[in-house]
Amino acid sequence: MVLPAQLQNNLTPSEVNFLAENELVTILPRYTMQKMQLIGTKVPALRAMRRESVPLWVALILKSQDKCSIIPPKWLNVAYLKDKYDEEVRKPNQFSALPWNWLEISKMLLARASDDLSDPSHLLRSVLQDLREIRLVKSRKGLKELNESNIVLNGLSLLEINELRPFVLTVMNKLRQLHDTSNAQDIADQDEYEDGGYDDDDDDDI
């Protein structure tokens, strides 16, 4: 793919969105359709008013043609998301468990199937934004803990990880290089010590 160098190590938001479209959602068809076997995906036969699970992209196409109602995921309601927000506030050192694609799916459903959602969309947008912001603040605070070897991202979704990735990767790379350098220096010092007989007490980390 011909992309600028800074984007080559990372998924773009539209790519993340594209991946999220493969998530299965339940729909209530208002349309009868035979089953389809696609590459990697199977769309079951649809009959009016019988719930079926289909990939989100199929659901959105049908929805745009007014051929189905999308049953919103169980987590996409104000009460649940408020609970999660409270949990985020209560536990400052960890992220609450939200679906892997919560941001993308909620954005797509709010944009294209807002009439099927159980709560008013402005309330949902508001609580989603609150959640997003508090998690962003947390993830930025967490950058203090960055080290050269590992990073724990439990509870973060794909899009949130991708937001961090360019910065974190660069910083961790630098940290690693520094660490390698300091290690190399240590080894050199050790060698010198063995050769020249330095005192142990002077062997401080950098």
Partner 1 sequence: MAPIQERIAAFPDGNSLISIQKSRLIVGNSEGLIKIYDLDQLDLEPKSIDIDNNITSLVQSQDLLFISNTNGQFQVIDLKNYLDHSIDIVVKTIYRSELPLRSIQSIPTLNQVVVGGDDRKLVFLDTSSSEFKAIKTLDLNDSIVDLSLGLNNSLIISLSNGEVKFYDVDGFGDDDDFTFKKSDMITTKILTSLDTIDYKNDHQDELVATKIHALKNGNFLIPANDGPSSIKLYSSTYQEITEIKDIESSGSIRSTHINDQESLIAVLYSDDTVKIFNLINYKLEHRFPISLNDNNIAINLQWFKYDLYFGTTNGEIIYFKQVGKEITTTTSTTTTSTEAIISAASGLFIDDATEDTDEEEYEKIAKRDRSKVQEEDSMIIDQDDDINDNDDEGLFGDDLDGDNYGDNKRFKSSKKYTNGGSSTSSSYFTSHTEVEEFQPYSPGSTPWIQDSKSDNSGSVERRYLGINTVGHVWAVRNSGYDQQQQHLTISFYDRSIQKDYHFTDHFKFDLCSFNNRGLLLGYSGINEKKNNDHGGKIYYRHHDSETDSWEKTIPLLKDEIITGVCLSNTSSQSSSIITVGTSLGYLRFFNLYGVCINVLKVQPIYALISSSTSNLFTVNQIANNIYTFSLIDINQDYNFIQQDVLLPIKRKSNEKLLLKGLFFNEYNDPCIISNQDDTLLILQTWRDSNNSKWIPILNCNNVITEYGSNPNKKNWKCWPLGLYNDQLNCLILKNNNPYPGFPLPLPVELKIRLPIQVHSINKENGSLKKKKKKKNPDDILDEDDEEEEEEDDDLMDTDGSEQIKNLFNDNDDPEENFLRSLTMGKIISDSLNDEAIGGDDDENDEIMDRLTKYSILFDKSLLKLFAESCKDSKLNKALSIAKLIKTDKALLAASKIAERMEFINLSTKIGKLREDLLDIDDDEDEDDI
- Judged by the rule CB under 8 A, the positions of this chain that interact with partner 1 are 28-32, 47-51, 66-67, 69, 71
Nearby residues of 14 by Cβ (< 8 Å), 6 or more positions away: none
The least CB distance from residue 113 to partner 1, in Å, is: 13
Instruction: Provide the β-strand partners of residue 52.
Output: 27
Query: Do 102 and 159 touch, CB atoms closer than 8 A?
Result: no
Which residue's CB is nearer to partner 1, number 32 or number 147? Answer: 32
- What is the DSSP-derived secondary structure letter of residue 119? S
The least CB distance from residue 20 to partner 1, in Å, is: 23
Which residue's CB is nearer to partner 1, number 66 or number 145? Answer: 66
Please tell me whether residue 25 adopts helix, strand or coil conformation. strand
Which residue's CB is nearer to partner 1, number 62 or number 128? Answer: 62
Nearby residues of 116 by Cβ (< 8 Å), 6 or more positions away: 63, 69, 70, 71, 72, 109
Torsion-angle region of 66 (φ positive above 0: left; ψ -120 to 50: alpha; else: beta) = left
The least CB distance from residue 82 to partner 1, in Å, is: 16
Instruction: Provide the β-strand partners of residue 31.
Output: none
- What is the rounded distance in angstroms from the CA atom of residue 18 to the CA atom of residue 12? 10
Which residue's CB is nearer to partner 1, number 71 or number 78? Answer: 71
Which residue's CB is nearer to partner 1, number 16 or number 27? Answer: 27
The least CB distance from residue 56 to partner 1, in Å, is: 18
The least CB distance from residue 103 to partner 1, in Å, is: 22
